[in-house]
């Protein structure tokens, strides 16, 4: 097991990589369909070198915050499947933060080194709002 996984108490993420929720706002919001979510949540997300996450999308906006390493976010629009891919590079030597809008297909590809980022999701993340391609 990688020392960072142990130190940060990370668990495997269904899209690939490793994660742990570190914060959920005590304030809540009622979504248009009546479901209740925290106003925001925050996770660590670690992606080892050579791995990528699977295409997925979330019903909330995500703010990516770089800690170590660099990742490329591949964004595939909001159609029924990813298309017309654009990229955003997030890391200490690139943009230190990036926003992925709600319902946009995305996947994450690391550079040659492991990458640790945080993702702030608003309204707060729930796996019921997560779609894996």
Q: Is 116 in contact with 67 (CB distance < 8 Å)? A: yes
* Cα–Cα distance, 111 to 51 (Å, whole number): 9
Kindly give the confidence (pLDDT) of every residue in the chain, 133 residues in length, as a single tens digit, with 9 standing for 90 and above.
Answer: 789 999 999 999 999 999 999 999 999 999 999 999 999 999 999 999 989 999 999 999 999 999 999 999 999 999 999 998 999 999 888 899 999 999 999 999 877 889 999 999 999 999 999 999 9
> With a threshold of 0.85, does the pTM exceed it?
yes
Domain range list for the chain: 3-132
Cβ-based neighbours of 45, under 8 Å, separated by 6 or more: 13, 17, 18, 19, 108, 116, 117, 118, 119
Specify the CATH class of 3-132 in words: mainly beta
């Amino acid at each position: 097991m990688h020392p960072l996984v142990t130190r940060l108490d990370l668990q495997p993420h269904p899209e690939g990589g490793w994660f742990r929720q570190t914060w959920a706002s005590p304030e809540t919001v009622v979504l248009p369909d009546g479901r209740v979510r925290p106003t925001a949540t925050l996770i660590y997300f670690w992606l080892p070198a050579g791995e990528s996450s699977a295409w997925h999308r979330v019903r909330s906006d995500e703010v990516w915050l770089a800690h170590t390493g660099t990742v490329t976010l591949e964004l595939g629009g909001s159609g029924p499947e990813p298309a017309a891919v654009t990229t955003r590079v997030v890391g200490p030597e690139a943009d230190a933060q990036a926003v992925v809008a709600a319902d946009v297909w995305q996947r994450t590809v690391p550079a040659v080194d492991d990458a640790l980022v945080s993702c702030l999701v608003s309204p707060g993340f729930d796996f019921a709002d997560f779609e894996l391609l």
